Chains A and B, each alone.
Chain A
Amino acid sequence: MEIERITLKNYRQYRDVSLDLGKSARGLTILVGGTGAGKTNLLNAITWCLYGKELHLTRDSERLPLLNVCVLADLQDKTGEVKVELRIKDEEGKKILTRTQKFSENREWSPEFKVLVKKNGDWKVSRNPELERLKILPEVIEEYFFFDGERLDGYFKTSTADITRGAIFKISQLEIVETAIRHLQTMINTMFISVKDYEDTENLKGQLETLSDVARGLKDDISSLREKKTLIDIEYDENEKKYRDFSTVATKQARREAIDREISEVDTEARALEAEKFDLLLRSAPIIGSLEAVRDLLSVINDKEAKGEVPPQIHKILLQRMLDENRCICGTNLSRASEQRHRIEKLLDKYGVISELSSELPEVRANLQSSQEEIKDFEARMTELNKKIQSGLDKRRTLNEELKVIEEEIKGSDIGTIGLLESRRNDLKQESEELVIDITNKERDLYECNKRIDEFQSDITKELKKKEKHEDLTRKVGFCRASLGFLDSTKEEIIQEIRKQVERQTKDRFLDIIWKKETYTDLQIDDRFSVRVLDKYGHAAMGTLSAGERQALALAFMVALNSVSGFEAPIIIDTPLGRLAGETRVNLAKTLPKFLKGKQVIVLATDTEYTEAVRKELVPAVVDEYALAFDEAKSEVKVVPYAA
């Protein structure tokens, strides 16, 4: 890639600059400017345009806005725009890369990046400007194309191994290869995780086979049980048919047995009634025997009472006490001569004994009446018992009659056959019921078994899908591992080859440009990427290199890296000689055109380093010389032809 023109608008101190570099496509362009004139910001403008970042900011620049400060001050309520445009030419043709950013007093918009590509004479907007940028120069290796003298000066001051290794890895894209290796390894790990739950279907198939055997066994059992049940049912039906033929006889036989039982019960009851009747008679016999006498006695008593022939009842003790006390209970004096006393004494004499009998009469009557009642109860109970006995006799007669009829009817029938049929019928019925239970149990087992078989089949289907996936992943893992293995071994080869290439190119350039050709005879970059400069005796001489020699070595190394990167891009060096003085500066200046031959090189130099002596060394390679004229009042840089 070559830069044909850089256009800057309102970018920091560049208000409106267009720098034509067309002639310097294969040569050296010198831009000379004092401190603060904008040399480093020209580098920053290029990186801002390419990457949206100012990669070489100084502390002063960091404090200032991107938009030119004078433009910013005049904005008021308007907007201002920063624009950096690179017109380039690469192997694909001409391109214009433009980055712009709008600003107002209070706001800054996001930058916009646009790439125009010239195709068949017409400019077309690229659909993927970021890719265009990547094709031109990736940011990661920018530092090996755009660098400053300070960096060159410090490059080999300290330990070189890490710097050299880092640079070789970046420039050769080994960092990218390492990232690819890491990502590929992650993918392989992920694929392994995906297949870790894969289970061999053979094990499942074995279990399914066992279950299928169990199911087959159950089906056979059920079939056999059903056949058995069918036979039993047939036998049962036949038995039933025979049994039906005997059923009437059986019923009558049953009725006969029932009648026998009923007769037995009636007889038992009759015997109990007769016993009770006998007992009643035994207990009631004395009363029954005296029944007439009782009736007569009561009649006599009643008659006597009716006639008043029953003597009155007197209280003998009371009368005797009144006589002994000579006083009646009414208070009358019962003296020995008194008529009243005499009357009482007569009464006592006349009724003394009879009166006692009269007093017992109510009790006698009550006993007699009670006997009469008992006799009535006996008669009633006896009547009742007789009725019951008669009823039993009637029932027995009826039953006997019915029994006679039945016996007549079933006379000659085979009662034993009926019993056998009935017994067989019950056995068959029980056996059939047991078979139904067995069949139901077996069917339930079969259902469970079939359910498990379904589950296993589903599992196997899933596993087969997994297996398919597993095989697919195994193939992918194999592919990735092969690629990874190759990339890994290639990486090592590339490292060694690039190390050797960088070593050879650095050595060639360094020994070519170094002015003490007799002193330094060899340069090596060892396996650990340490750079070693050897003197003619084979001694390590890095420590004895002067600042200029060290900077020449760094430059040789940078250009070697630049060369093996595979990218063709301009080299822009900011103040390459600023830290050198006198003869060293001139010596380095002398070497620059040699190893930068054939490349577009832009050197940004201070007026103090671009001395007459330096200029004299560089001029043969210079195609353009410009000066950066900074107008501090306007905060503006103008690019003008350099006047020595």
Chain B
Amino acid sequence: MGAKINPMIIDKFTGLDRSVRVFLIELILNELDHSDEPRWRFGQVYEDLIEKYSQNYSSDQENT
């Protein structure tokens, strides 16, 4: 992961559930890393990230 996320976006993630926050940061970093690839096949990367960060997530949290 090399590209930098605009600090304003990172600031917005403050206070979020940790898994959602890290998930979103990794998601955006991946998007940045592949921003030069119009046909980037994001599916597997997204699937892995969702698998990794949704483990401790329960649907009760959705409304919080």
Chain A residues close to B by CB (< 8 Å): 51, 128, 130-132, 134-135, 138-140, 172-173, 175-177, 179-180, 183-184, 187, 190, 474-476, 478-483, 486-487, 490, 493-494, 497-498, 501, 564-567
Contact = CB atoms under 8 A, between A and B. Distances in A.
Given A180-B28, A479-B20, A498-B8, 16 more contacts: A134-B32, A176-B35, A179-B31, A183-B46, A474-B59, A479-B50, A479-B53, A479-B57, A482-B57, A482-B61, A483-B24, A486-B16, A487-B24, A494-B9, A494-B12, A565-B6
Contacts of A479: 19-20, 23, 50, 53-54, 57
A474 B50 CA distance: 12
Given A135-B2, A173-B5, A187-B50, A478 B28 contact: no
B3 A135 contact: yes
A173 B6 contact: yes
Contacts of A135: 2-4
Contact of A483 (B8, B23, B35, B47): B23
B32 A138 contact: yes
Contacts of B59: 474-475, 478
Contact of A132 (B2, B23, B43): B2
Interface of B: 1-9, 12-13, 16-17, 19-20, 23-24, 27-28, 31-33, 35-36, 42-43, 46-47, 50-51, 53-54, 57-59, 61-62
A140 B24 CA distance: 21
Most interface-central of B1, B19, B36 (chain A CB within 10 A): B36
Contacts of B61: 478, 482
B20 A139 contact: no
Contacts of B16: 486
Contacts of B46: 183-184, 187
Contacts of A190: 43
A173 B57 CA distance: 27
12 contacts: A131-B33, A134-B35, A134-B36, A139-B36, A180-B27, A478-B58, A479-B20, A482-B57, A487-B24, A494-B8, A566-B4, A566-B6
A635 to B, nearest CB: 33
Contacts of B8: 172, 494, 497-498, 501, 564, 566
B54 to A, nearest CB: 4
A497 B8 CA distance: 9
A577 B33 CA distance: 36
A579 B33 CA distance: 38
B43 A134 contact: no
Given A475-B59, A479-B53, A490-B12, A140 B2 contact: no
Nearest to A134: B3
Q: Is the interface of A mostly helix, strand, loop or mixed?
A: helix
A538 to B, nearest CB: 30
A486 B19 CA distance: 13
Nearest to B30: A180
Contacts of A51: 36
A478 B50 contact: no
Contacts of A172: 6, 8-9
Contacts of A134: 2-3, 32-33, 35-36
A480 to B, nearest CB: 6
A561 to B, nearest CB: 12
A474 B58 CA distance: 9
Contacts of A128: 2
B35 A475 contact: no
By Cβ-Cβ distance, the 4 closest A-B pairs, closest first, are A131-B2, A479-B54, A478-B59, A134-B3
Contact of A493 (B1, B12, B19, B28): B12
B11 to A, nearest CB: 9
A399 to B, nearest CB: 103
Contacts of A176: 28, 31-32, 35
A478 B57 contact: yes
Contacts of A187: 43, 46-47, 50
B24 to A, nearest CB: 6
A591 B56 CA distance: 55
A482 B16 CA distance: 11
Contacts of B53: 479
A475 B54 contact: yes
Nearest to B1: A131
A566 B27 contact: no
Nearest to B7: A566
A490 B27 CA distance: 15
Contacts of B4: 135, 566-567
Contacts of A566: 4-8
A494 B7 CA distance: 11
Contacts of B7: 566
Contacts of A487: 24
Given A135-B3, A490-B12, A493-B12, A476 B32 contact: no
Contacts of B57: 475, 478-479, 482
A125 B20 CA distance: 35
Most interface-central of A130, A134, A486, A494 (chain B CB within 10 A): A134
A205 B56 CA distance: 30
B33 to A, nearest CB: 6
Contacts of A474: 59
Given A177-B28, A475-B59, A497-B8, A480 B54 contact: yes
Contact of A173 (B27, B28, B51, B54): B28
A230 to B, nearest CB: 60
B9 A173 contact: yes
A128 B3 CA distance: 12
A542 B51 CA distance: 52
A140 B3 CA distance: 12
A490 B4 CA distance: 18
Contacts of B6: 172-173, 564-566
Given A135-B3, A476-B50, A490-B9, A180 B31 contact: yes
